[in-house]
Structure 1
Amino acid sequence: MRTRKRKGTRSRVSLNAAYDNGYNTGYNAGHSQGYGLGYQKGIDSYAAGFEGTSIVIPSYNQRTYLADCIESIGKHTPEPHEIIVVDNGSTDGTADYLRSLKKRTVRYKICERNLGFAGGVNQGLMMARGTTLLFLNNDTIVTENWLSNQLACLHGKERAGLVGPMTNYISGEQLIGTSYRTTEEMHRFARSFNRRDPGKWTTVERLTGFCVLMRRDVFRRIGYLDEGFEIGNCEDDDFGLRGRLLGLDLVIAKDTFVHHVGSTTIKTLTPAQFEEMYARNLAFYSDKWGDTRALLQEVSAHWDGGALAVNDFYPSHVTVKGTGPTVYWVENGVRRPLDQSEGVRATRISQIELKNWPVGDPIPSAEWNAKQAALMVAASPEEPLAEGELALTPDGKLHQHRGGRLHRIVSAWASEAWSLNRYRVRTLTESEAAGYAPGLPIIAPPVVKADNI
């Protein structure tokens, strides 16, 4: 007997299928949209950072010391924080140790080669999300109240830009004599020592880089460490000097103690290797800065309460680039992308420095070429100084003119770094030079070698 189909069965099946298809389509669309919104919110919150301290630790072949350092941070840092370790191409199993840690304990980056102290710190600073940033040697053991005391100093002392603690092994004013012989004795000493006392917050001319704390806004104003310094030594002096040029104070929190084994990476060099490296770093520092005391005195006249940034010490009428392929023409504090930049020589700067300049309209290559040519061709002595033109004063100092002011170029290295040595130079008489007010001096940008900074 043939079974008769019930009326409307096909239509109900079709309706159900259509409903299912519509439901699935709507669900998939809603899921994709929700996932996209969540993903973007995650990116935005990551970029926004968090109210806490990013602790950046560069490390090279000191796995045991690094483990002790990380363990001490976990025990003695109740304040909100994150730990970022940059392994500088270690060969002692440091990378495997870092991979064995829980991700919520440490974020890390494994580098294929040794980037040096400055390069390692820079990689960590790029990864950092905290509102305060701290770089720390891997051969340190932190102590009770070590971070809370330094944060109190950073936020409680007027004009504090960079803050560091006292320690047992260092050069300069941060050194304190100790007699402990074990880690337990050290922690007992530190508990007694680390009693908050604003009267012990001391402004100094130099902070060593084994432990340095700063606000994120200060980092944005100073920029990255200079990777022109090899392995280690002098890059902390360079960084501190840039902070002082901005009118910020370097402060020792003399109510805070952090244990430091000291020079564990440097000690892997032979005495001859160390002397050669240190001599090159000293020469680089000297070539870059010249007379630093005279420079600070010169700049102090411009500390009027405004928040200076390192870009205020950079020249005008120069060509720069960051991490991407875009090349910019910087003129009077505005960066304009070149519409054609193939083969154009540009000074490499970090993304932080690049973004400190607002973006203007693109500049056509014909206009850019004309501006370059005008600065290279000798002008009549009777004509007033053009914007961006270089001038030599009777005291033998080279300046760039802009806005009616003469901005002294602090060194030949700075001139070369910005390619200003390609421009013509006008020689001024004493009376002509007196007609221009002095502006902020022009300094060289820090060397950045990594493609991602």
Structure 2
Amino acid sequence: MSKMAYRRDGYNDGFAKGYNKGYEDGFSAGRDAGAARFSTPFAGTSIIIPTYNQLEYLQECIESITKHTLEPYELIVIDNASDDGTAAYLQATRTIRYWVNKENLGFAGAVNQGLMLARGTTLLILNNDSVVTPHWLSNLLTCLHSNPQFGIVGPVTNYISGEQLIETNYSDIAEMQKFSEAYNRSNTSRWTPTSRLTGFCMLLRREDFRRLGYFDEGFEIGNCEDDDYGLRARLLGLQLVIAKDTFIHHYGSVSMKSLNGGFDQVYEKNLAFYANKWADPHGMLSLAWQRNKKGYRTSDFYPTCVIVRGPGPEVYWLENGNRYPINGSGGVQAVRVSQVDLHNWQLGEAIPVEEVKRRINALYASSGDHLDAEGRLIRLPDGAVCQYKGGKMRRFINKHALSFWKLDHYEARHVAEQELHKYKEGPPLISPPVIKADNI
């Protein structure tokens, strides 16, 4: 090869590397700057709309929001790889913040992306096949802010399962809006606590989102993730409330119906995931610990003395409500938690991986002499496994939770019934939501 050819190839290679490095650095800096800007809350509502195809429904939904929402709000649309022109529509808008996925991440994944982008002091999740109505948001906000124990608020509608369904007799959207104008009169006597809210329209405070965390992306495409989220809210002592003074129209599951024969398969799979995740959730909600103490966070239902990681490469040892960065953590298995959960633990001093391994061996690889050592695993006479945490016995809700935290292969110390009387039983230990995105 001639010197000229070597020089040309060297120039091209250097240019390509320099360009790519500059692009990566610029993109990273822009992303971080954008995230910093949009992480600053504003006194309004972030309306998050996950969408998959069905562009005409999305357009009608957005038009109704524009027409009937007087309160401060921002619109965030997350497109789950639609192939019907949705991306082009969003790119042509100037008032909508949006993200277009390369693949369908499902309802939970898209909602989580919207929550990550949201800046509002209140957060609202809305199906793309909804049509909002006069006073809809003001009524929901009035209900939500009337009581600090109201955690998630939803309206009534014409097409839904459960208590949020009401009978209607309108024949078109024009008649529906006339019906809603008369129906949507704020009335405290029509606010009804419930055990279940559907995810077609859910309003919550930002501070409660920080306690609850993200939706569980273990639920594929859609269905059951709203039940899971509502249950977690109730575990924290928050109430689910139906604002029966507020009606919005819902065409009903248009994205799910587009799956055709795949709908039943997805639903059955999600039901199985829900059943595997939870044992007797409604039984837990009647226990004294849940009634008498408020202010829980989802992370309070996680075990201690475990290894966790967030969206970044850092790995932490979790103990006594603190997270300690692990130096030299290569090869250590960590449980993925969300950024929200991670920030609910205080940051401590870094510790070497050798010290983490020593603590694991002392707690889990030997039976030990002390039942009340923080993090000790204990097997009850009925076969259930508990962990001693914060002076209380904390029962793993089921084998799934024990396995999720990578503690199922350790031998728990067997104890007799009479040994347990001096210990109080605290809240159960559950698995965290599945998080698939790298930046959540």
- In structure 2, what is the Cα distance between the partners aligned to 1:348 and 1:158? 30
Unaligned runs of 5+ in 1: 1-39
The 1:42/1:430 distance shift into structure 2, 3 A limit, reads: closer
Q: Secondary structure of 2:254's match?
A: coil
The C-alpha deviation readout for 1:81-106, integer Å capped at 9, x for no partner, is: 0000000000000000001111xx21
1:291 to 264, 269, 280: 280
- In structure 2, what is the Cα distance between the partners aligned to 1:383 and 1:257? 58
8 Å Cα contact 1:389-1:423 kept in structure 2: no
> Is 1:351 aligned to 2:339, yes or no?
yes
> Is 1:82 aligned to 2:74, yes or no?
yes
What TM-score results when the alignment is normalised by the length of structure 1? 0.88
Q: Higher mean Cα deviation, 285-294 or 242-251?
A: 285-294
Spell out the pairing of 1:49-198 with structure 2 (5 A cutoff).
49-102=41-94, 105-198=95-188
1:431, distance to aligned residue in structure 2 (A): 0.4
The C-alpha deviation readout for 1:210-261, integer Å capped at 9, x for no partner, is: 0000000010000100000011110000000000000000000000001000
1:403, distance to aligned residue in structure 2 (A): 3.2
Q: Secondary structure of 1:244's match?
A: helix
Counterpart AA for 2:349: D
1:45, distance to aligned residue in structure 2 (A): 5.6
Q: Which has the larger radius of gyration?
A: 1
**Structure 2 counterpart of 1:330:** 318
Q: Higher mean Cα deviation, 384-393 or 441-450?
A: 384-393
Aligned residues: CA RMSD: 1.7
1:43, distance to aligned residue in structure 2 (A): 7.2
The 1:42/1:100 distance shift into structure 2, 3 A limit, reads: closer
> Is 1:409 aligned to 2:396, yes or no?
yes
- In structure 2, what is the Cα distance between the partners aligned to 1:350 and 1:327? 13
- In structure 2, what is the Cα distance between the partners aligned to 1:42 and 1:270? 39
| Seq. identity, % | 53
The C-alpha deviation readout for 1:280-316, integer Å capped at 9, x for no partner, is: 1111111111111112123x42444541111111110
1:378, distance to aligned residue in structure 2 (A): 2.6
Q: Higher mean Cα deviation, 338-347 or 208-217?
A: 338-347
The 1:370/1:209 distance shift into structure 2, 3 A limit, reads: same
The 1:330/1:154 distance shift into structure 2, 3 A limit, reads: same
**Structure 2 counterpart of 1:277:** 266
- In structure 2, what is the Cα distance between the partners aligned to 1:172 and 1:117? 20
Q: Higher mean Cα deviation, 390-399 or 134-143?
A: 390-399
Counterpart AA for 1:240: G
The 1:410/1:250 distance shift into structure 2, 3 A limit, reads: same
Counterpart AA for 2:93: L
- In structure 2, what is the Cα distance between the partners aligned to 1:97 and 1:377? 58
Q: Higher mean Cα deviation, 301-310 or 89-98?
A: 301-310
- In structure 2, what is the Cα distance between the partners aligned to 1:115 and 1:185? 36
**Structure 2 counterpart of 1:375:** 363
- In structure 1, what is the Cα distance between the partners aligned to 2:117 and 2:142? 24
Q: Secondary structure of 2:286's match?
A: helix
- In structure 2, what is the Cα distance between the partners aligned to 1:437 and 1:425? 19
Unaligned runs of 5+ in 2: 1-31
8 Å Cα contact 2:311-2:338 kept in structure 1: yes
- In structure 1, what is the Cα distance between the partners aligned to 2:335 and 2:260? 35
- In structure 1, what is the Cα distance between the partners aligned to 2:173 and 2:390? 59
Counterpart AA for 1:412: K
The C-alpha deviation readout for 1:319-376, integer Å capped at 9, x for no partner, is: 0000110000000110000011111100001100000001000011221110111123
Q: Moved runs in structure 1, 4+ residues, more than 3 A?
A: 40-46, 302-306, 382-385
- In structure 2, what is the Cα distance between the partners aligned to 1:449 and 1:316? 23
Counterpart AA for 1:235: E
8 Å Cα contact 1:389-1:424 kept in structure 2: no
- In structure 1, what is the Cα distance between the partners aligned to 2:148 and 2:91? 41
- In structure 2, what is the Cα distance between the partners aligned to 1:42 and 1:423? 44
1:430 to 417, 424, 439: 417
> Is 1:397 aligned to 2:384, yes or no?
yes
Equivalences, count: 410
8 Å Cα contact 1:119-1:225 kept in structure 2: yes
What TM-score results when the alignment is normalised by the length of structure 2? 0.90
**Structure 1 counterpart of 2:190:** 200
8 Å Cα contact 1:375-1:424 kept in structure 2: no
- In structure 2, what is the Cα distance between the partners aligned to 1:43 and 1:209? 26
The C-alpha deviation readout for 1:140-169, integer Å capped at 9, x for no partner, is: 000000000000000013510000000000
Q: Higher mean Cα deviation, 361-370 or 211-220?
A: 361-370
- In structure 1, what is the Cα distance between the partners aligned to 2:34 and 2:281? 45
